[in-house]
Structure 1
Amino acid sequence: MHTQAQPTTSGQTTLTLEIGLLLLLSLIWGSSFTLIKVAIPTIPPFTMVAARVTIAAILLIAIARAQGHTLPGRGPVWPAFFVQGLLQSALPFTLISWGELHIASGLAGVLNATPPMFVLAIAMMTGRGRQAISSRKIIGVALGLAGVAVTIGVDALSSLGTTAPLAQSAVLGASLCYALAPIWGQRFSGFPATVTAAGAMGCAAILMVPAALVLEQPRTLAPTSQAVVAVVGLAVVCTALAMVIYFRLIRTLGPLGTTSGSYLRAGFAVALGTAWLGERFTWSALAGMTLILAGVIAITIPRPARRRGLEP
């Protein structure tokens, strides 16, 4: 007598958890735009990023040790950590912070929502992961980008290429870094997420602290208390906590699925602006967020397995 196999929900439960973490990560990184706006008037970009990654590195190293992990000794992994720290934090954080000094936050949000498109283009050009690129994911990327444009407002695109082109290029450069970072980060799949995050942030701090000391002389600054609190929030929540989640998602959702959070990040930025900055929530914003959600679902939900016949 044969018994019929019972369906398991473990895979669905795991996917639900990962999508929940993607939502959390998007919310955290969506709030970073507000915190940067608070800090940037009195803490310049290099100093802000140096403080952000240094505090995060110290916290992550302490967490890793508390979990019983040790950072790798000398070896080829450390140059790889330096590249990860540069792509994921040092360079894009600086480019975005500087860019927001010169362009509207809405336009910056649209430009910074493009990493999935870069990931898709890289996969198609290099052949890496091309077999995982389906028409549904391509449609998902298009839906997400359209949703961002609708959410932020099409008017924000009217200044594209006409004002502060260098600042616009800087934010696009940050998006390219965010696309390359999860692809590069796949090589750390054998390390715990806290170890990878600690190594990458430690290397980012080594890169940024000398740059800040030379270029901005932070000892001469007089930041406001609100700016200091904003930088601490950026370091603890938007960097340390976010990086642990991020390196987990690289392993579970892959580069394209992880970068799809950039669409959600733009939507959360609008929602946070409505909640705390008194910005008006429009029907176009609701429509845009619906498109964003549809795009993320199309990118992250795996293709259903083909039904196989069961023995009677």
Structure 2
Amino acid sequence: MATNSLKTTNYAVELSLLAVLATLWGASYTFIKLGIETIPPVTLIAARTIIAGAVLLVILRLRGIRLPRDAATWRNFAIQACLNSVIPFTLIAWAEKSVDAGLAVILNSMTPVFTFLITLLWSRHEPTTFRKMAGVMIGLVGTCVIVGTQALTHVGQELVAQLAVVLATVCYAGAAIFGRNFNDLDPMAPAAGSLVSGAAILIPVSLVVDQPWTLEPSSSSMLGLVGLAVFSTSFTFVIYFRLIHTLGSVGATAQAYLRAPIGVAIGAYFLGERLSSSAWIGLLCILIGVTLMTVPQKSRKPVLKTT
């Protein structure tokens, strides 16, 4: 009985962290929208990775944790950086120059679908149960409800930007699966290592493409950058790698369904983007889907036969 109670408490903690992750990542789309007003996408994302990586390195130092020094681990950090920050962060920032933050977060909520499909068709590292499949489908229905008729009116408009967000979503799915390579490390280590690697990739590109010393960012863009780097990157990466270990790849990406209504609501409140009246129905579907994908099934007790 005590063991079951402890398990219930642990899963409650993990699901709470999933909600925190969804909220902070949902806010990132609004932070990006503010940032790109006066900061070009590549430079914005380069600064995001630099600041977030520096924050995590300081925390690691205070905790007495050292990053691995072997080449194999840093190669994996670089791959994770490309999948989880360099490519998707830049694609989304570029896309938000022409699409609403709310639409970007909705398109990005497809991450669990791609994670599930990659797991089912390729990696097979987790059991792809019927319940998880049902959770994916119900969550997708909820996302479609949130999109509503307003999103349908955008079909065909800014198609390249929308496809860029979808491509970023595929990258996130791959990152969730590849992140299993770091299960033997403290969650902060791959978070910091991948961000440092991402900064090393993006800084030269930013210097050549944007010449950041010529920019004059506004105060709102700078605030957006700080919120994006500290709250929606450094904090979230630590939670993210923990959840990959505790809830699995599909479970960790289930936050994408939660961040859809959260991101839309934040965009509506701070940016004046219109929130669909069907969002609450979609949110209910999403919560059901997340529950099906993350909460473990109770093991059945064997029935003792008597003769």
Shift of 1:277: 4.4
Following the alignment from structure 1 to structure 2, what is the Cα–Cα distance between the partners of residues 264 and 257? Answer: 12
Contact 1:107–1:157 at 8 Å: present in 2 too? no
- TM-score computed with the length of structure 1 as normaliser: 0.93
Counterpart residue number, 1:59:
55
Q: 61-70 vs 272-281, which deviates more?
A: 272-281
2:56 is aligned with what amino acid? L
Q: 248-257 vs 275-284, which deviates more?
A: 275-284
Counterpart residue number, 1:207:
201
Contact 1:193–1:248 at 8 Å: present in 2 too? yes
Q: 1:48 aligns with which of 44, 47, 58?
A: 44
Following the alignment from structure 1 to structure 2, what is the Cα–Cα distance between the partners of residues 284 and 241? Answer: 31
1:258 is aligned with what amino acid? A
Shift of 1:245: 0.5
Following the alignment from structure 2 to structure 1, what is the Cα–Cα distance between the partners of residues 153 and 274? Answer: 20
Q: Deviations over 1:50-107 (max 9, x none)?
A: 0000011111111111111111113210100000111111110000000111223343
Counterpart residue number, 1:258:
252
Matched, 1:189 2:183: yes
Counterpart residue number, 1:146:
141
Matched, 1:157 2:113: no
Following the alignment from structure 2 to structure 1, what is the Cα–Cα distance between the partners of residues 215 and 36? Answer: 12
Matched, 1:137 2:114: no
- TM-score computed with the length of structure 2 as normaliser: 0.94
Shift of 1:109: 2.5
Following the alignment from structure 1 to structure 2, what is the Cα–Cα distance between the partners of residues 100 and 280? Answer: 16
Q: 2:299 aligns with which of 298, 305, 310?
A: 305
Shift of 1:125: 1.1
Contact 1:45–1:97 at 8 Å: present in 2 too? yes
Contact 1:109–1:152 at 8 Å: present in 2 too? no
Matched, 1:222 2:199: no
Counterpart residue number, 2:100:
104
| Structure 1 unaligned residues grouped into runs of 5+ | none
4+ residue runs over 6 A deviation: none
Counterpart residue number, 1:76:
72
Shift of 1:124: 1.6
Following the alignment from structure 1 to structure 2, what is the Cα–Cα distance between the partners of residues 7 and 214? Answer: 57
Change beyond 3 A, Cα 1:293–1:168: same
| Structure 2 unaligned residues grouped into runs of 5+ | none
Contact 2:85–2:198 at 8 Å: present in 1 too? yes
- 2:157 aligned counterpart, secondary structure: coil
Change beyond 3 A, Cα 1:7–1:91: closer
Following the alignment from structure 2 to structure 1, what is the Cα–Cα distance between the partners of residues 205 and 117? Answer: 32
Shift of 1:135: 1.3
Q: Identity over aligned residues, as a percent? A: 41
Following the alignment from structure 2 to structure 1, what is the Cα–Cα distance between the partners of residues 74 and 150? Answer: 44
2:168 is aligned with what amino acid? A
Contact 1:56–1:235 at 8 Å: present in 2 too? yes
Counterpart residue number, 2:164:
170
5 Å-filtered alignment, 1:225-304, equals 225-277=219-271, 283-304=277-298
Contact 2:115–2:176 at 8 Å: present in 1 too? no
Following the alignment from structure 1 to structure 2, what is the Cα–Cα distance between the partners of residues 283 and 215? Answer: 41
Change beyond 3 A, Cα 1:7–1:193: closer
- 1:9 aligned counterpart, secondary structure: helix
Contact 2:148–2:276 at 8 Å: present in 1 too? no
